[in-house]
Chains A and B, each alone.
Chain A
Amino acid sequence: MEVELTTPLTEEDLEQLHIGDSVFINGVIYTARDAAHKRLVALIEEDKELPFDIEGQIIYYVGPAPAKPGQIIGSAGPTTSGRMDVYSPALMAKGLKGMIGKGNRSPEVIEAMKSYKCVYFGATGGVGALLARAIEKVRIIAYEDLGTEAIRQLVVTNFPVIVINDIYGNDLYKEGVKKYQKKNRKY
């Protein structure tokens, strides 16, 4: 199925999504990767306010390349999501509704996606020049000292992703492999 979504996301938006769906995301999304996640979760642990309203929002795991003259952002494809696994449930508890990255999530994160209602979207890794074309606006909103790892507010148009984990506990990485693997191999 093909779906167009505009952020912030509602629970109704997420209920219609199933693994393998092609989704085109529109509106504001936020970038954060390892270092920014560490700081965000430290704020939650200290019961302090986050630098942006996370309710219904999507976090994109990306550390973009620098913009060259004439660009607003350099190549901007996803980084490996697994490194954010230790932080993600705390952000879901605060209202995070979507994550964009690449690669497998831990069982704990998949379970948290079910209970907090949050979807994991996969963007194709290694196609950062193509994905940057879907980004219309960029503004650093927090942690500028982190450079590429600073939190950026992006405005995106038809940003292409695939649903990897839906709110029903399904996992496209597992199901996709099952469909195409050759059974009963020695290794």
Chain B
Amino acid sequence: MIKQRPRSRRSSFGEPLMQGLLWSSVLLITGAFMWLCSDIVRHGFRQLSWDFLTQLPRDTGRSGGIGPILVSTGLIIGVCLGVSIPLGVGTAVFLNEFSAPQRWLSQFLGISLDILAGVPSIVFGLFGNAFFCKTLGLGFSILSGGLTLACMVLPILIRSTQAGLQSVPNDYRLSAAALGVSRSAVLWQVLLPAAMPGLVVGLLLGIGRAIAETAALLFTSGYVDRMPTSLMDSGRALSVHIYDLAVNVAGGEQNAYGTALVLVLLLMMINGSVSWLGKRFQQTRILDV
């Protein structure tokens, strides 16, 4: 209301100065943004075609498409979600529904999730290389990359699922208990469906983080740009492809821009659905069961 435009008649010397400063910084940022976006769209759009999306990269990526890279990216994300969804949802349910916040396990989990969320991605890469590739003997593979990313997106997934569960009114739990419904039935029939929007938002945010990630994949899932035949093959993710084309391949910029445009479009779709779902989530709050 008033917050938006507190009016006053007395305008001092500072006021026009600040107005100028504010508008110029906003114009500066918008300008930089337009510059960045127009470059990506302009250079990337030229590359974009059905062939580009489906064909094999040729001449170390200078020409040809990104077919195998899209497949590898999909597989890495699939492994990542396959592991992180059960772990994340299970942990969130445990924290919210089965454990008291005072318990040491809950407190420890809270702290460790905060740390996990702050660890730089390159450190996840080091860990993934030492643990998944070397100690577990998975080598440079899609599996190692996906598992490393699963560790990275876990905090996001847990926090959003928790937020979803917290928004389910306690009446639901009490009514179910009064009816003599078992806790697991309440969980499957009432709590999880009601917490679904939060879960989906977390899921999309997690996919967004995973798909944008490069540093953690450099030495876990590797560089190989062939079509992967199994999860134990090394596979190159979209982001790694962009890096490789830009830095190691002379004349690879055009295809790097094309891949970047594909990546940014994917992310924009994901972010768009997050904000759309988030808004719906806030409006409905809970599911009409």
Q: Do A and B come from one complex?
A: no
Q: Which residues of B contact A (CB under 8 A)?
A: none
Binding site for B on A (CB under 8 A): none
